[in-house]
Structure 1
Amino acid sequence: MRLMTYNIEHGGSDRGSTKRLHLIASVIARAQPDLLVLEECNYFDEDEGRPLRALAEELGMRGELATVDSGYHLALLLRRDGVLRELRVFRSGFHHGALVAEVTVEGLDLTLIGTHLNPFAPEARVIEARRLAALGNGGPTALLGDLNSLSSRDRPRYEPSTWAPRYRARHLAPGDDERIDTDAIDVLEQAGFHDLFHQANPGTFAPTRPTERNSDRPSQRLDYILATEPLADRLRSASVVREGDAPRASDHLPVVADLNEGP
């Protein structure tokens, strides 16, 4: 079973052109996920949700839109034979909202949490992380999204002295312009979530940003697939997708994780 998270940058729309959305569809089709969370689904609520329906149809998947107050909507897509038992959307308490889906794929019941955390304030992300940790039901749970957060495991790879002031403000600890802030990821790991990319690739650094669309930004891993132990124990592989159209489709690269199926 393949999980995937993808920030598609302003709904794949550039000044009204949806050409980039076709590149995004190509990236997803090539990855062939069974469960997918999309962030920044701007405009997907227009025309009664037609953009998401069209994308899901092109991919041979089912789509559910989680509209949020910021306009940076979230979407869940799952393979057609998957079962969506329940979907809850949280519009308050999170900068760009959160969705919680109870799904069944290949006989496996799991809780899927999708979110897009505060891009600006480390303190706000910690509050959001604590709220996310409380959303699971104690069973197998996966948390996917653009967490806008850095991991302590990647700390040696970062040189904040080379970052522009706005990125230092976003990712250095409040009141300490030397310490890289990793508190949000730390909170989630302390709550029992495992970083699947790190678990599959210990010691490897694979930034999810920048891409060809924002090459002036620092190299950072901001997008994650986290899972509680029952799912982490099934992990087969995890990677950042760089192939095909991924470098030019969005300002983030998607992340995938493959889990062994079965009861």
Structure 2
Amino acid sequence: MTLSLLTWNVKTGGSGGRLDGIVALLTRERPDIVALQELRDFQRHDRRRMREVADALGMAGFLAPSVFGQPVGVLVRPPLTIAGRSAVRWRLHHAAAAVTVPTAAGPLTVVSTHLNPFRPYRRLREARWLAHRYRGPLTVITGDLNSLDPHTAHTERLARLPELYRRRHLGADGRPDTRAIASFAEAGFVDLWRSAGTGDGLTVPTTRGGGHEFSNAGMRLDYLLARPELAARARTARVVRGDEAEWASDHYPLRVELDL
């Protein structure tokens, strides 16, 4: 079977009339599993908004609330089922939602998370903790990691950012900080964009969705990171652009196809 996985930071839960566009794009893309971040207000009124979005898409959902930031979640399309679920709240600025889905290749674990947007060292600590916690052979950690990859030259792009936002991506030595993504690689995770991606891979900002903190720099902040056994099954990875993707959020969705 081929399984499609899409991750998307939907910017404050699709507030300001954007939620309909988010649902429309996901309906058209029809991924088997969706990892979402910045689900503001999705936990209110007994998680009513999460249920409404899941029902509109014909999927089962799991939401992880956040103590300090915004919730994250995972949606799974039948006939796939959620056999296990867990939420991480206290160790992360935002949260992590992990689900286990039975597949013909074995149990697949999908972790939707959103790392600290402000401080590189705290992102590094979060990344190390997640990489240690989730180590099953068919595991993918995905979401808005707010991090720069260690294989790209970032100095020129960062120079376009206002100083307030540029500091979020600089280490104590003033150089671009790439330690969070490097720590995942050191733990054995594979960046699926680098192994199976097409195009430039930039996920922020969108053309009409805001994102002043990204200015006109163009950055890759959203990732699909998989254990080697799962990474070997990745066929294509792409950034979803056009139509609602241009205005429904300040991040573009990122999608991968897995041969399971």
Smaller-chain TM-score range?
A: over 0.9
Query: For residues 128-147 of structure 1, what are the structure 2 equivalents within 5 Å?
Result: 128-147=126-145
Secondary structure in 1 aligned to 2:209?
coil
- Residue equivalent to 2:112: 114
For residues 1-263 of structure 1, what are the structure 2 equivalents within 5 Å? Answer: 1-14=3-16, 19-105=17-103, 108-155=106-153, 158-174=156-172, 176-177=173-174, 179-201=175-197, 205-211=200-206, 212-214=208-210, 216=212, 217=215, 218-261=217-260
Work out the CA distance in 1 between the residues paired with 2:151 and 2:242. Answer: 25
- Aligned to 2:28, what secondary structure does the other structure show? helix
Q: In the TM superposition, what is the alpha-carbon distance from 1:157 to its structure 2 partner? A: 7.7
CA contact (8 A) 1:81 1:105 kept: no
Residue 8 of structure 1 contacts residue 39 of structure 1 at CA under 8 Å; is this kept in 2?
A: yes
Distance 2:70 2:77 in 1: 23
- RMSD over aligned Cα atoms: 1.6
Residues 7 and 36 in structure 2, CA contact (< 8 A), matched pair in contact too: yes
- For residue 106 of structure 1, report the CA deviation from its aligned partner: 5.2
Whole-angstrom CA distance in 2 between matches of 1:43 and 1:215: 20
Q: CA deviation at 1:100?
A: 2.0
Shift of residue 129, structure 1, vs aligned partner? 0.7
What is the Cα deviation at residue 158 of structure 1?
4.1
With structure 2 as the length reference, what TM-score do the two structures score? Answer: 0.92
Corresponding residue SS for 2:183: helix
Tell me how far apart the structure 2 counterparts of residues 242 and 224 of structure 1 sit (CA, whole Å).
Answer: 16
- Does the 8 Å contact 2:38/2:72 carry over to 1? yes
- Counterpart contact for 1:38–1:76, Cα < 8 Å: yes
Counterpart contact for 1:83–1:105, Cα < 8 Å: no
**CA distances 1:42-77 after superposition (whole Å, capped 9, x unpaired):** 101122111111111111111111111135101110
Q: Following the alignment from structure 1 to structure 2, what is the Cα–Cα distance between the partners of residues 92 and 198? A: 31
CA contact 2:85–2:98 (8 Å) conserved in 1: yes
User: Unmatched 5+ residue regions in structure 1?
Assistant: none
| Structure 2 alignment gaps of length 5 or more | none
The count of corresponding residues between Structure 1 and Structure 2 is 254
Pick closer, same or farther for the CA change 1:43–1:104 going to 2, 3 Å.
same
Give the TM-score of the pair, scaled to structure 1: 0.91
Larger displacement relative to structure 2 (81-90 or 181-190): 81-90
Equivalent position amino acid for 1:238 in 2: A
TM superposition shift of 1:155: 2.1
% identical equivalent positions: 38
Q: Deviations over 1:145-164 (max 9, x none)?
A: 10000112232584322221
Q: Distance in 2 between matches of 1:106 and 1:55?
A: 28
